[in-house]
Amino acid sequence: MTERVGFYRSPIGMLKLTLQEQRQLKRVEWSEEMSFQPLPEKGVFREIGAQLDAYFAGSLRQFSLPVFWEGSEFYQQVWRCLCTIPYGETRAYQQMAIQCGHPKAARAVGQAVHRNPIPIILPCHRVIGASGALVGYAGGCEKKRFLLRLEGALA
């Protein structure tokens, strides 16, 4: 399988974007790479960059990008549920487990959220602890806090 990689400079750090061969977004990773190629000016990378620009400007509330779902059926179900959390709102892991139809599987849902390969686009930053704590985020809690403040979910 051929993959293509591009980099996007966001307000909270460099993002490494990976497309799978059919031009679907496969991964978004936080990157520390100092040298990078800007996103191509056309095609799927251009659309991803435009939507990320709009999101960080506060004018995009829901992404509409072609996504390559790579994971177990359970993980994919949880990731689809992530996409139903409205912009500016949060959900606890237990709420997500109930919503996904697995009310006794909050820990397993937490693992699926943790393994989300496409953060920001699949908004795992909107999932918080039952107490309201900003628990765990691949990019770190400061990035999670930034994203939730951007969306108005935190003061």
Which residue of the set 81, 100, 124, 141 is catalytic?
A: 124
**CA-CA distance, 141 to 136, in Å (whole number)?**
6
Chain-centre distance of CA 100, in angstroms? 18
**CA-CA distance, 126 to 39, in Å (whole number)?**
27
| Helices 73-82/106-114 angle, 10° precision | 80
**CA-CA distance, 139 to 100, in Å (whole number)?**
24
**CA-CA distance, 77 to 101, in Å (whole number)?**
9
Six-digit token string for 82: 């992530």
| Strand, helix or coil for residue 10 | strand
Active site residue 83: no
Question: Considering only CA atoms, which of 154, 155, 153, 150 is closest in space to residue 52?
Answer: 150
* Residues with catalytic roles: 124
